[in-house]
């Protein structure tokens, strides 16, 4: 068990007994947080509690106990992790590709006839495949961002591809757009919506009515994409 969190501390984790079960809980103290919050990290299959600077550990525990049924239900409904392996599948732009290990190959990772081939030693297959997908995300998502930028006139300062545990995208006040590399596994229409959503934040740094009017002007895919991400997003976060 971790010690009581008082004052700024790095991220800490513990196993908490909740409704007769042991569940992993990660504590996060944030100087920017204005209130206690609780969420499920689908990638790590754990509960994350964010504490404002002056909040006590016990306040976070009370929040967790009050939302125990919800938190346990969300953990129980997470999809099983699906590790990439020879003979398995990986998804790009919403299309499944078989994974074939080619130990004697000399091309790193490449797509051939609808199959993703991975060279090198077997223990490094997952790492090499993840590197490849992150590179593909930079190319594919970057190209789609550029295309929508040209149509909308909304120009971000730069694009950053990251691996985040909950967000598919974000837009900072300085005009930097962040996209989660795992978005490259989603269908193209879903990618289009997330990109449009973040570009709209260049004009409206909120989710007010004017923001959603602009999103609707940029993409017709909002409702389909939001539904798809709710249903299938956790599986993308757990893929590796």
What residue segments make up the domains of the chain, in order of their start?
12-76, 89-238
Tokens of 157: 């300062």
> Which one is the CATH code of 89-238: 3.40.630.30, 3.30.2010.10, 3.40.30.10, 1.10.150.310?
3.30.2010.10
Q: Kindly state the percentage of the chain with pLDDT values over 90.
A: 77
Indicate the pTM of the whole model: 0.81
Q: How high is the pLDDT of residue 105?
A: 83
Label residue 32 exposed, middle or buried (CB < 10 Å: 0-12, 13-18, 19+). exposed
Q: What is the pLDDT of residues 4-48, one digit of tens each?
A: 333 444 458 899 999 899 999 999 998 888 899 999 988 888 999
**DSSP-based three-state secondary structure for 78:** coil
Q: What is the pLDDT of residues 83-136, one digit of tens each?
A: 899 999 999 999 999 999 999 888 899 999 999 999 999 999 999 999 999 999
């Amino acid at each position: 068990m971790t010690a009581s969190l008082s004052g700024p501390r790095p991220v800490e984790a513990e196993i908490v007994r909740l409704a007769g079960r042991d569940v992993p809980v990660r504590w996060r103290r944030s100087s920017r947080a204005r209130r206690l919050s609780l969420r499920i990290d689908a990638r790590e299959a754990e509960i994350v509690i964010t504490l404002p600077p002056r909040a006590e550990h016990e306040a976070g525990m009370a929040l967790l106990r009050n939302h125990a049924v919800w938190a346990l239900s969300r953990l129980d409904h997470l999809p099983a992790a699906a590790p990439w392996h020879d003979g398995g599948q990986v998804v790009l732009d919403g299309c499944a590709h078989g994974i074939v290990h080619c130990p004697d190959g000399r091309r790193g990772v490449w797509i051939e006839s609808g199959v993703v081939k991975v060279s090198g030693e077997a223990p490094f297959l997952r790492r090499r495949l993840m590197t490849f997908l992150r590179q593909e995300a930079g190319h594919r998502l970057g190209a789609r961002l550029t295309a929508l930028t040209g149509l909308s006139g909304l120009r971000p300062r730069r694009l950053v591809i990251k691996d985040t545990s909950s967000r598919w995208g974000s837009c900072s006040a300085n005009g930097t757009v962040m996209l989660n590399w795992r978005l490259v596994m989603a269908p193209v229409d879903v990618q289009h919506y997330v990109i449009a959503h973040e570009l709209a934040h260049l004009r409206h740094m909120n989710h007010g009515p004017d923001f959603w009017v602009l999103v609707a002007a940029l993409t017709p895919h909002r409702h389909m994409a939001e539904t798809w991400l709710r249903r299938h997003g956790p599986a993308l976060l757990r893929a590796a």
